[in-house]
Amino acid sequence: MQETKKFGEISLDELPQLEHSDTKISEPSTVFPQNAKTNWEKIMETALLLAKEAEEAREIPVGAVVVDLQGNILGKGKNACISINDPTAHAEILALRQAAQVRQNYRLPQTILVCTLEPCLMCLGAILHARISGLIFAASDTKAGAVVSKLNGAGLSWVNHRFWFAKGLLAEQSAEMLRTFFKQRRKER
């Protein structure tokens, strides 16, 4: 029996297994593998460390990691808009750029982007052009999130690429880092 591709939102319990899986990771698994969430948490923790590095550089604390189907990291990024004077230097964009260099291809099929904050509209555009298979993000962005909060980015009828996504993995850690950052910024005004 062939598994049906699923696009759009999946639950954290449906996250695909990374290591030694019989199920293609480009499609969400139908059965929750025992260790899958732990593996994804480790990858999200890497993204959170990158977000912390961004915060230490006085950037908005967002981090992102691109992994292949085996869980190998192809690209990492942390917000650097202020540091490098580049409005496009969002964590997701930088991680996708690095992964594209590793792959020597601007298309990144059979990869998954893991980030600490729901991507914005610009990053959604890059995700669609890169042709990633899936997206996992920690905290929702109620002001500018383009995947579910302000736009159904994974279900746009007029684009020729679809991807699955899961939200909420280590969301509280990411949200707390962002709250603390902006609270401190307001105090400095």
> Catalytic residue numbers?
92
121 and 128 Cβ atoms separated by less than 8 Å: no
